[in-house]
Amino acid sequence: MVDLPEEAKKPRTSVELFAGGGGLAMAVHQAGFRPLLFNEFNNRACETLIASARKTLGVDGLERTEEKNPKPPRPGQPAPLYPGDVRDLDLSAFEGKVDVLAGGPPCQPFSAGGVAKGDEDKRNMFPAMFKAVREMRPKAVICENVRGLLRPSFEEYFQYIQNELRLPFEKRVDRDRWQDHNAHLTDILNQLSDDDSDPDHYRVVMVRVNAANYGVPQVRNRVVIVAFRADLGVDVDAFEKYVTTERFSEDALHRSMRDEDGPYWQRHPDVEDHVRDRVRKHLPKVIKEDDCQPWRTLRDAIQGYGTDVESPALPFVDLERLHEKFDFGREIDVVGHIGWPGARIYKGHTPNELDRPAKTVKAGVHGVPGGESVMRLDERVPDASAPYRYMTVRETARVMTFPDEWHGSGPRGEQMRQLGNAVPVVLGEFFAKAVADALSTAGH
C-alpha cells in the first residue's frame, strides 16, 4: 500500500451549512471528518444541534457565535455555530483548511410541495453555497436537494447550478440575468480540456438517488451533487461508477420474503402467520435475481435492524392509550416514542406499510399529503381490518436512520419538520465516505 502524505494522515475537516437537525452533519462526522463550523438559521434546529453535539456530531460541544468572520477551532475546542443568515458570513479564514463543504440548501424553491419559484425564490440558497466555495476553496463539496430540480421547468436552471459549481469564481454580476451568465459559463466550459486542473475549477458529479437503494428504510428520491477541486486529480468517473452501483434492491427484499421461512421472516419471528400470508400473496409473480441486499422496511427500522449501531426494538404502542399521548419509550430510556391521537386515512392519504420501506418523510405532521406520517399495523386476526396510527417521532427518526441519541428540540411538529428536511444519515455517510476514499486514492 502506498503511504499517504502527512497531510492526508491528519483528521479530515468539514464545514456544514444549512445544518438543520443534523442529518448530513452526523453523516460527515461518522465518515471521519472533524467539523470546523456549523450554520443554521432556525433557532429550534440550532437547539437540536447543541443538544446532540457530543453524542452525534463528534464535537466537544457547540458554541453559538454572532461572529460573522469566524475562525476554525483548534482540536478539542468547541465548534462554532452561527445561528443566522449564511449570506452574512465571511469564511475566508477557512481557506485551504476544509476538506468537505456539506449542506442541503433549502428545497422549497424547487420542491413539488412548495411554490416552486426556483431562482426567483428568495429562499434559493445555492448562490450562498457558491460564495462559501469561493471563500474556502474546499477539496470537495457535497450538496443534497429534492428531485424537483429535475422537473422540465427547472432543467435549464439546474444545469446552471452545476455550471456555477464547476466555475464558482466566475461570479455572476447582480444586474445579469442567470440565463446570460449561464451562456458565459457554457462558453468557458466548452473550451476546457478533459484534463483541466485549474484550482479555481471543480469537477461535478450529479447522482439521482432513491435512499432505499442505499440501505435507508424509506423511499426517498433526491439529487446529490458532489464536486472535487480540479487540481486534485480525483478520478470522478470511478467515483460516479462507485456511488451509482446498486447495493440494495426491492427484488432482494421480495426474495427474502418469498418463502414462509425466508430470511425476512426469520428476522421477524413474532409476525403472525396470517400477516405473512397476506404479504407473500401480494409479492410479484416474477422476481428478478441480483447481487443486492434487501431493501430495509419500516418493520426493520422499528425493530432496530440494519444499522451499524444495534438499537433495541421500540416498545409496542398500545392503541388503547393513544389518547393519553403516553410515553412508550420510557421503559428503555428512548426519547420521543410518544403516541399521538387522531390518525385518519382516506382516498389519497394512505398509511405506510410495515413490510415496505416507509414513504418519504416530509416536513409536517398531520397535514402532510399522502399519509406519510401514518402507519398501518398488523391485523389482529385473519380477514380483519388493520388498525393504524401516527408514527412517533422516534420511529420517524429511525426511518431517517438517525441514532436514538438524537433528541429533537421543540414540540412534535417542529421535530417532525426537522426530520422531514434532513438528509438520512446512512445515505449521507455513504457519500461522505466515498468522497474521503476518492481523495485518499488521489493522494490527498
**Has residue 136 got a pLDDT over 90?**
yes
Please enumerate in sequence order all residues whose Cβ is within 8 A of that of 79, keeping only pairs 6 or more positions apart, or say none: 35, 36, 37, 38, 53, 57, 59, 61, 62, 63, 73
CA dist 177 and 327 (Å) reads: 54
CA 277 to chain centre: 34
Instruction: Take residue 252 and report the three cell numbers written for it.
Output: 432482494
Instruction: Take residue 416 and report the three cell numbers written for it.
Output: 417532525
Is residue 333 left, alpha or beta, with left meaning phi > 0 and alpha meaning psi from -120 to 50? left
- 100-103 and 12-17 as β-strands: parallel, antiparallel, unpaired? parallel
- Could you give the domains of the chain? 1-247+314-444 (3.40.50.150)
* Residue 414 pLDDT class (50, 70, 90 cuts): very high
CA dist 35 and 110 (Å) reads: 28
Sole residue written with cell 430510556: 333
**Predicted confidence (pLDDT) per residue in 54-109, tens digit:** 777 877 778 899 999 999 998 888 899 999 999 999 999 999 999 999 998 874 44
Query: What's the pLDDT at 110?
Result: 45
Computed on alpha carbons and rounded to an integer, the radius of gyration of the chain in Å comes to 23
Q: Return the DSSP state at 344.
A: -
Q: Return the DSSP state at 148.
A: G
Query: What's the pLDDT at 402?
Result: 94
Mean pLDDT along residues 386-404: 94
% pLDDT > 90, the chain: 73
Mean pLDDT along residues 332-358: 91
The full 3-state SS of the chain, as one line of letters, equals: CCCCCHHHHCCEEEEEECCCCCHHHHHHHHCCEEEEEEECCCHHHHHHHHHHHHHHHCCCCEEECCCCCCCCCCCCCCEEEECCCHHHCCCHHHCCCCCEEEECCCCCCCCCCCCCCHHHCCCCCHHHHHHHHHHHCCCEEEEEEEHHHHCHHHHHHHHHHHHHHHCCCCCCCCCCCHHHHHHHHHHHHHHCCCCCCCCCCEEEEEEEEEHHHHCCCECCEEEEEEEEEHHHCCCHHHHHHHHHCCCEEHHHHHHHHHCCCCHHHHHCCCCCHHHHHHHHHCCCCCCCCCCCEECCCHHHHHHCCCCCCCCCCCCCCCHHHHHHCCECCHHHCCCCCECCCCCCCECCECCECCCCCECCCCCCCCCCCCCCCEEECCCCCCCCCCCEEECCHHHHHHHCCCCCCCCCCCCHHHHHHHHHHCCCHHHHHHHHHHHHHHHHHCCC
Least confident of 61-65, 110-114, 353-357, 375-379: 110-114
Question: Residue 92 corresponds to which amino acid?
Answer: S
Q: How many CB atoms lie within 10 A of CB 276?
A: 20
Query: What's the pLDDT at 369?
Result: 57
CB 425 within 8 A of CB 402: yes
Hey, which residues are catalytic here? 107
Q: Torsion over CA of 264, 270, 275 and 277, rounded to 10 degrees? A: 60
**Has residue 1 got a pLDDT over 50?**
no
**Predicted confidence (pLDDT) per residue in 111-129, tens digit:** 444 433 335 435 578 889 9
Q: Torsion over CA of 169, 170, 175 and 179, rounded to 10 degrees? A: -130
